[in-house]
Amino acid sequence: MAEQWPDPASPAPGHPTKFCFACGAVLDARAELCPNCGVRQMPSPDSVSTGKDRVTAIVFALLLGGLGVHKFYLGKIALGVIYVIFSWTGIPSLIGLIEGIQYLRTSDAAWAATYGGPVRPANATAIGCLWAIAIVPLALAVLAIISIVSLIFLGGQISKIQ
């Protein structure tokens, strides 16, 4: 006798159940379609994962990344604690800026797959403004490095002119 696969919509032992809203059949709580009548089931509010908002995580990473707020928001508590412990060094701020840029580059579908929830397109205006917030510190850092290098190599030249 051939082995039969269990029906994915039938309730599994130990799993929560729900009733089909069309025919009243008992279903596994995860079922999308009723095997009895074929009607697509509406997800219950308890079973829908809201996920984490990408724009919120980006704002936290760019503005409060040195304290690891974005890690706490995304549920990575241990990393958040490490960021707080080493916040006095400034290294978590730099890493938070880099992670904020990584979050900006992540697609909506990839974000939903990683952090849960439905694929929600992010507000383009918000993403554009966040790119500006991410780029300004990088541009200022490049200008500071250029200034320091020019003072080192041209410092002696300037004193000779005076």
> Predicted confidence band at 150 (pLDDT cuts at 50, 70, 90)?
confident
Residue bearing the bigger pLDDT, 159 or 36: 36
State pLDDT tens for residues 62-96.
999 999 999 999 999 999 999 999 999 999 999 99
Q: Which of 40, 2, 9 is nearest to 22 (CA)?
A: 40
Which stretches of the chain are assigned E, i.e. beta strand?
17-19, 26-28
pLDDT tens per residue, range 101-143: 999 998 888 888 888 776 777 788 888 888 888 888 888 888 9
Kindly list the domain boundaries of the chain, sorted by start residue: 8-48, 54-157
Phi (first) and psi of residue 71, to 5 degrees: -70, -40
User: CA 56, CA 73: separation in Å to the nearest integer?
Assistant: 9
Q: Furthest-apart CA pair in the chain: how many Å? A: 100
How many C-beta atoms lie closer than 10 Å to residue 157's C-beta? 9
Extract the tokens encoding 52.
């984490």
pLDDT > 90 in the chain, percent: 32
What is the three-class DSSP state of 35? coil
**pTM score:** 0.59
Position 115, amino acid:
Y
Taking the mean position of all CA atoms in its chain, how far away is CA 96? 13
